[in-house]
Amino acid sequence: MSIYVDENTRVVVQGITGRDGSFHTRQMMAYGTRVVSGVTPGKGGRDFEGPDGGAVPVFDTVAEAVGETGADASVIYVPPAFAASAIMEAADAGVSFIVCVTEGIPVLDMTRAHALARDRGCRVLGPNCPGIISPGKTTLGIIPGRMVIPGPVGLISRSGTLTYEAVHHLTRDGLGQTTCVGIGGDPLIGTSFVDCLAEFAKDPDTEAIVMIGEIGGTAEQEAAAWASANLSVPVVGFIAGRTAPPGKRMGHAGAIISGSSGTAAEKTKAFEDNGIKVAKRPAEISSLVAEALGG
């Protein structure tokens, strides 16, 4: 199985005619994602040409796209100044699952967007995330389909780059994945580690989980405690930023040590105290997963 999305998910792409939106939409379509429509204000009525000669209609608003094509998920590739409004537009239109790839969105804008999405019963993945992929079924975002294979491992990560590296090692070693989820590295995100762990806990095909965290905040500690109390499958962890100095932002907006709880050492300890084996390097993740699976 998979979590959040599958081969039946019907996708509308916001910003489909832009440089990034058009490139990644064609990549998604080539993988088999059911992209049913796109949205670019002022360009409604056109068709977007897919990689195989197929085309999807472009609308001026998400409400029109949902009404005409029945889209139930959205992927957002619009500039930071407009991305929060794009999230709220999709939520207002009745989209139930939104992937926001855009980085650099002002935090104040996201406080409003997340609040409205919650009020509408909509789940947001991101922002500043690579998206989600269920191998052999669908991909929403920018995770390359060629690096994944179906299998029993679920993956959750705050880092896009480390998502790719971890999946590369898993696939190389024959450890396929049920779903890989990039939750994003901003201070305010719509879907947490715990949210994903709860979904994986309901998936009978997920036999092990990889959780990739980084410095800053306490999300990893909360997830470790939840996993210990609620999960029956093994979890392997990795924490990025072991050498980061306090007070320095490292990459993601949320990756900053503002207290002892945000350090790599504290997060690693929380993992280990809750029975999660921790890799010291990304290349070690697959061997720990294989060991956890009894391989």
CATH number at residue 239: 3.40.50.261
Q: Is residue 161 part of a domain?
A: yes
Pick the last residue of a domain from 125, 156, 182: 125
Q: Are residues 186 and 277 in the same domain?
A: yes
Q: Are residues 286 and 217 in the same domain?
A: yes
Q: Is residue 140 part of a domain?
A: no
Residue (of 239, 222, 199, 238) closest to 274 by Cα position: 222
Q: Are residues 177 and 119 in the same domain?
A: no
Q: Is residue 3 part of a domain?
A: no
To the nearest 10°, report the CA torsion of 261, 186, 144, 282: -20
The number of residues making up the chain comes to 295
CA distance 129 to 190: 11
The answer to whether 24 is a known catalytic residue is no
Q: Is residue 37 part of a domain?
A: yes
The CA-to-CA distance between both ends of the chain, in Å, stands at 22
Q: Are residues 81 and 15 in the same domain?
A: yes
CA distance 187 to 258: 12
Helices (H) and strands (E) in the chain, counts: 9, 14
pTM for this model (two decimals): 0.94
The letter for the amino acid at 111 is T
Q: Are residues 24 and 80 in the same domain?
A: yes
**Structural domain total, the chain:** 2
pLDDT of residue 263: 84
Hey, how many other C-beta atoms are within 10 angstroms of the C-beta on 273? 12
Hey, how many other C-beta atoms are within 10 angstroms of the C-beta on 67? 14
CA distance 43 to 1: 37
pLDDT of residue 260: 54
Q: Which two tokens stand for residue 176?
A: 């396929």
CA distance 15 to 35: 13
Q: Are residues 184 and 253 in the same domain?
A: yes
Q: Are residues 284 and 165 in the same domain?
A: yes
Judge if the upstream peptide bond of residue 245 is cis by omega within 30 degrees of 0.
Answer: no
Q: Are residues 71 and 167 in the same domain?
A: no
What sign for the dihedral angle of Cα 58, 137, 194, 217?
negative
Q: Is residue 266 part of a domain?
A: yes
- Of 24, 114, 169, 252, which one is the catalytic site residue? 252
pLDDT of residue 166: 97
CA 260 to chain centroid, in Å, comes to 27
Query: Cβ(153)–Cβ(170) under 8 Å?
Result: yes
Query: Residue 78: which domain range?
Result: 10-125
CA 169 to chain centroid, in Å, comes to 19
pLDDT of residue 85: 98
Q: Is residue 131 part of a domain?
A: no
pLDDT of residue 204: 97
To the nearest 10°, report the CA torsion of 107, 65, 40, 102: 30
Q: Are residues 152 and 282 in the same domain?
A: yes
Pick the last residue of a domain from 92, 125, 158: 125
Q: What is the CATH number of the domain that holds 113?
A: 3.40.50.720
Q: Are residues 196 and 269 in the same domain?
A: yes
Pairing of strands 131-134, 177-182: antiparallel
Q: Which two tokens stand for residue 257?
A: 């040590």
With H, G, I as helix, E, B as strand and everything else as coil, classify residue 89. helix
Pick the last residue of a domain from 93, 125, 157: 125
Q: Are residues 158 and 265 in the same domain?
A: yes
Q: Which two tokens stand for residue 85?
A: 């409004």
Per-residue pLDDT of the chain (295 residues; tens, 9 = 90+): 899 999 999 999 999 999 999 999 999 999 999 999 999 999 999 999 999 888 999 999 999 999 999 999 999 999 999 999 999 999 999 999 999 999 999 999 999 999 999 999 999 999 999 999 999 999 999 999 999 999 999 999 999 999 999 999 999 999 999 999 999 989 899 999 999 999 999 999 999 999 999 988 889 999 999 999 999 999 999 998 664 555 555 555 544 545 555 788 899 999 999 999 999 999 999 999 999 998 6
Q: Which residues contact 113 (CB under 8 A, 6 or more apart)?
A: 84, 85, 87, 88, 91, 124
Q: Is residue 103 part of a domain?
A: yes
> Torsion-angle region of residue 121: left (phi > 0), alpha (psi -120 to 50) or beta?
left
Q: Is residue 226 part of a domain?
A: yes
pLDDT of residue 52: 85
Q: What is the pLDDT of residues 200-249, one digit of tens each?
A: 999 999 999 999 999 888 899 999 999 999 999 999 999 986 645 555 55
Q: What percent of the chain has pLDDT over 70?
A: 93
Hey, how many other C-beta atoms are within 10 angstroms of the C-beta on 145? 16
Q: Are residues 54 and 108 in the same domain?
A: yes
